[in-house]
A and B are shown apart, each in its own frame.
Chain A
Amino acid sequence: MKKTYPVEVDCANCASKMEEAVKGTPGVASATLNFMALKLKVEFEDGADEGAVMKEALRRCRRVESDCDIIF
């Protein structure tokens, strides 16, 4: 399953840090964050619970860049 989420983040460098954080979240098969488009594309592993995975992903993102948001 693939889903795209709007993202709020201020700098290009922070965006790439967020991308890494989302990639490392359990349940995420792959992720790309496009800073200019402010879009996070997540491919979930089979059977992953989207809501729970994204909650964890956001928690991890906030840890690397406290000032960010993913709208899901």
Chain B
Amino acid sequence: MKYKFTKKQKRLLIRIIVSACVFAAGIAVLLAVPSLPWIGRGILIASYLIAGYDVLRKAALGVVRGRIFDENFLMAVASLGAMALTEFSEAAAVMIFYQTGELFQSVAVGKSRKSVAALTEIRPDTANLVGNDGVTEVDPEDVSVGSVIAVYPGERIPLDGVIIEGRTTLDAVALTGEAIPVEAKEGDSVVSGCVNVTGAIKVRTTKEFTDSTVTRILELVEDSTSRKSRPEAFITRFAKYYTPAVCGTALALALIPPLASLIFGGDPAWREWISRALTFLVVSCPCALVLSVPMAFFGGIGCASKNGILVKGANFLELLAKAEGAVFDKTGTLTEGSFRVTNVETFGGMNGKEIIKYAAFAESVSTHPVGVCIRSECPEIPSQGDVSDVTEIPGRGVEATVLGKRVFVGKTENGDFSQNAPGVTVSVVIDGKEEGRITASDSVKESAKGAIADLKALGVKKTYMLTGDRESSARLVADAVGVGGVRAGLLPADKVGELEKIMKESSPVLYAGDGINDAPVLARSDVGVAMGALGSDAAIEAADVVIMDDDMKRLPLAVRIARKTVRIAKENIVFSLAVKAACLILGALGIAGMWVAIFADVGVMILAVLNSARALTVKNNR
């Protein structure tokens, strides 16, 4: 991705280049005219001032306001101290390197921001408000509920609403990460953030901009970095003590050894010890350290967003990375959540298609889930007079006259067939003869089995399923997808209790549900993952991690992203601390001078920043 420097960054870059040139000139003059050192030194001071005048100004302002652990102040003391020791080239070099580090940091942060913004670039800038006098382009924030807006092909839907005119195809890839276009027509609800692909539509808004899906999602992503992860909290706390501690040590280093040797009658070697102390001040700035961790998490959260996984806080990414157990809701999470005809048994008289047709016609006004799914299986719609005398037999089924034949669909006297199979089986009796049986069941999601195997491979060893369903059918689903533990026959209120029992055995535990009737469980678990949450405000509210579509494969992907992010954050901490410590030790021993110290400091920051950028991309394979 191309990155454009901001004005500020450009100015800093020019200053660094000019200063470096002046610096080189100064060194050259110093070497060429050793008899008159002040000419070279003067040029070096100019170089120093070009690079660091703003640091000096901020340092002065900081002192006036009593902030002595201000990084600008420390840099100023270190460099001015070096000049006092007549080490002008050190002073200028330190300032040039320091500013180079600042510039790099600023560019890296800008770049990281830009790439994350691009991943979540779903904020619509304008809405086409349809008024009495035509269409006007307005700020989405100014559109009130119930207004009509026009959305043209290629535009992003700015506000949630219902289509009142037109039909089109919508692309929700920015929201779900899934590039499958969805058809939408009059009467359908649309969510903001989707791109209108094919046709112009008019939408009556149902929400204000601030409550619309797109705003909620953006807020969620933007707020996520304000919930700190443990490494981040650690490094922030560490930074609080780090700067004063390093400054204190520097002071001790400048005073104690010379005084001690003075007492014992030796040479105090002030110059040497003060120069070592100044080296300490150069590495006392914690800014790069403080930045490297949130930057890794920011990248991880951005990467997750790109894949349709919204993480509400860096801390949840961390818990996800450590998850030992996974608990799933059955219906709607491991299964499709809707009945489908899975088997049609025939007894010779009619073929499957005919049986479905008779059953579907008989069920033509039914609201029972099984009736609805049989109907959806039949391509034909009964015309006037095809179906008459429909009677529901409560608890058994439905009877009707279809195309002149008496048809019964439901449980026959000889009982219930569904004991040992998942789902429900009904008989189709035509003119008193049982012609076939139709089994409808809630089928297991295709993605579920692979996802659970993947999770296990990632080390999420214990898997459980919570369901209100009966044990036998729950078992079948559990075996089909590879879930270990089954807790069946639970009332919604029991689920929290069962989850707590599981949490005692393994921790942390992630819970994946649809967020519709299991909000308390989502909230109680260590990491609550709401699946298929696009358009469901309640689920987005209750969950810690929101997976916009209901593809189970995103769950192991989320864990993988989390692991990588946490690993990068830890690498950054260990690496930067190690280098800082090395600089301090070598500096105290007088082995590393200011040059080495600032070089190492800037270098380690650059490496940490580059490392963080890796969090932006995670491959979705095993």
Inside 8 A of B109's CB, which chain A residues have their CB?
36
Q: Hey, what's the 0/1 contact readout for A21-56 against B, CB within 8 Å counting as 1?
A: 000000000001011111101000000000000000
Answer whether A36 and B294 are a contact pair too, CB < 8 Å, given A12-B287, A13-B286, A66-B61: yes
Answer whether A32 and B226 are a contact pair too, CB < 8 Å, given A10-B106, A12-B294: yes
Complex CA–CA separation, A35 to B225 (angstroms)? 9
Q: Do the beta carbons of B65 and A63 come within 8 Å of each other?
A: yes
B295 within 8 A of A: yes
Q: Hey, what's the 0/1 contact readout for B275-287 against A, CB within 8 Å counting as 1?
A: 0000000000011
Q: Do the beta carbons of A13 and B71 come within 8 Å of each other?
A: yes
Other-chain contact of B225, A10, A37, A64 (Cβ < 8 Å) = A37
B216 within 8 A of A: no
Inside 8 A of A41's CB, which chain B residues have their CB?
223
Inside 8 A of A34's CB, which chain B residues have their CB?
222-223, 225-226
A11 within 8 A of B: yes
Complex CA–CA separation, A32 to B227 (angstroms)? 11
Other-chain contact of B105, A11, A32, A39, A64 (Cβ < 8 Å) = A11
Residue of B61, B226, B291 with most partner-chain A CB within 10 A: B226
Measured CB to CB, the nearest residue on chain A to B103 is A10
B567 within 8 A of A: no
Other-chain contact of B222, A12, A39, A64 (Cβ < 8 Å) = A39
Other-chain contact of B298, A13, A36, A64, A66 (Cβ < 8 Å) = A36
Closest approach, in angstroms, between the C-beta of A62 and any C-beta of chain B?
10
Q: Is the interface of B mostly helix, strand, loop or mixed?
A: helix
Q: Hey, what's the 0/1 contact readout for B94-119 against A, CB within 8 Å counting as 1?
A: 00000000100110010011001000
Measured CB to CB, the nearest residue on chain A to B9 is A10
B149 within 8 A of A: no
Answer whether A36 and B295 are a contact pair too, CB < 8 Å, given A11-B287, A13-B71, A13-B290: yes
B58 within 8 A of A: yes
Q: Do the beta carbons of A37 and B113 come within 8 Å of each other?
A: yes
Closest approach, in angstroms, between the C-beta of A6 and any C-beta of chain B?
11
Number of inter-chain CB pairs below 8 Å = 46
Q: Hey, what's the 0/1 contact readout for B292-315 against A, CB within 8 Å counting as 1?
A: 001100100000000000000000
Closest approach, in angstroms, between the C-beta of A22 and any C-beta of chain B?
14
Complex CA–CA separation, A63 to B62 (angstroms)? 9
Residue of A11, A64, A66 with most partner-chain B CB within 10 A: A11
Q: How many B residues touch A, CB cutoff 8 Å?
A: 27
Interface residue range, chain A:
10 to 19
Inside 8 A of B286's CB, which chain A residues have their CB?
13
Q: Do the beta carbons of A12 and B226 come within 8 Å of each other?
A: no
Closest approach, in angstroms, between the C-beta of A68 and any C-beta of chain B?
11
Closest approach, in angstroms, between the C-beta of B138 and any C-beta of chain A?
19
Complex CA–CA separation, A63 to B64 (angstroms)? 11
Inside 8 A of B222's CB, which chain A residues have their CB?
34, 37, 39
Q: Hey, what's the 0/1 contact readout for B417-460 against A, CB within 8 Å counting as 1?
A: 00000000000000000000000000000000000000000000
Closest approach, in angstroms, between the C-beta of A31 and any C-beta of chain B?
11
Inside 8 A of A63's CB, which chain B residues have their CB?
65
Inside 8 A of A67's CB, which chain B residues have their CB?
54, 58
Complex CA–CA separation, A12 to B295 (angstroms)? 10
Closest approach, in angstroms, between the C-beta of A21 and any C-beta of chain B?
11
Other-chain contact of B113, A32, A36, A64 (Cβ < 8 Å) = A36
Measured CB to CB, the nearest residue on chain A to B106 is A10
Complex CA–CA separation, A34 to B298 (angstroms)? 11
Closest approach, in angstroms, between the C-beta of A61 and any C-beta of chain B?
13
Q: A6-22: which have CB < 8 Å to B? A: 10-13
Answer whether A10 and B102 are a contact pair too, CB < 8 Å, given A36-B295, A36-B298, A37-B113: yes
Inside 8 A of B294's CB, which chain A residues have their CB?
12, 35-36
Q: Do the beta carbons of B113 and A38 come within 8 Å of each other?
A: yes
Complex CA–CA separation, A45 to B226 (angstroms)? 22
Inside 8 A of B105's CB, which chain A residues have their CB?
11
Complex CA–CA separation, A39 to B223 (angstroms)? 9
Complex CA–CA separation, A35 to B314 (angstroms)? 14
Measured CB to CB, the nearest residue on chain A to B295 is A36
Closest approach, in angstroms, between the C-beta of A60 and any C-beta of chain B?
11
Complex CA–CA separation, A66 to B239 (angstroms)? 22
Q: Do the beta carbons of B291 and A66 come within 8 Å of each other?
A: no
Other-chain contact of B290, A12, A32, A38, A39 (Cβ < 8 Å) = A12
Measured CB to CB, the nearest residue on chain B to A11 is B287
Complex CA–CA separation, A68 to B558 (angstroms)? 36
Closest approach, in angstroms, between the C-beta of A19 and any C-beta of chain B?
10
Complex CA–CA separation, A37 to B106 (angstroms)? 13
Measured CB to CB, the nearest residue on chain B to A33 is B226
Inside 8 A of B287's CB, which chain A residues have their CB?
11-13
Complex CA–CA separation, A50 to B553 (angstroms)? 46
Closest approach, in angstroms, between the C-beta of A37 and any C-beta of chain B?
4
Q: Do the beta carbons of A36 and B225 come within 8 Å of each other?
A: yes
Measured CB to CB, the nearest residue on chain B to A62 is B61
Closest approach, in angstroms, between the C-beta of A71 and any C-beta of chain B?
14
Measured CB to CB, the nearest residue on chain A to B12 is A10
Inside 8 A of B65's CB, which chain A residues have their CB?
63-64
Complex CA–CA separation, A13 to B75 (angstroms)? 15
Answer whether A12 and B225 are a contact pair too, CB < 8 Å, given A36-B112, A36-B298, A38-B113: no
Complex CA–CA separation, A38 to B225 (angstroms)? 11
Inside 8 A of A64's CB, which chain B residues have their CB?
65, 67
Complex CA–CA separation, A72 to B15 (angstroms)? 30
Inside 8 A of A32's CB, which chain B residues have their CB?
226
Complex CA–CA separation, A39 to B117 (angstroms)? 13
Complex CA–CA separation, A37 to B290 (angstroms)? 16
Complex CA–CA separation, A36 to B298 (angstroms)? 7
A-B contacts, 7 of them at CB < 8 A, read A36-B112, A38-B113, A39-B222, A41-B223, A63-B65, A64-B65, A64-B67
Kindly list the 4 A-B residue pairs having the minimum CB-CB distance in the complex, ordered from nearest: A36-B298, A37-B222, A12-B291, A36-B225
- Apart from A36-B116, A37-B222, A64-B67, what 13 extra A-B contacts exist at CB < 8 Å? A10-B102, A11-B105, A11-B287, A13-B71, A13-B290, A35-B225, A35-B294, A36-B112, A36-B298, A37-B113, A63-B65, A64-B65, A66-B61
Partner-A contacts on B (CB < 8 A): 8, 54, 57-58, 61, 65, 67, 71, 102, 105-106, 109, 112-113, 116, 222-223, 225-226, 239, 286-287, 290-291, 294-295, 298
Partner-B contacts on A (CB < 8 A): 10-13, 32, 34-39, 41, 63-64, 66-67
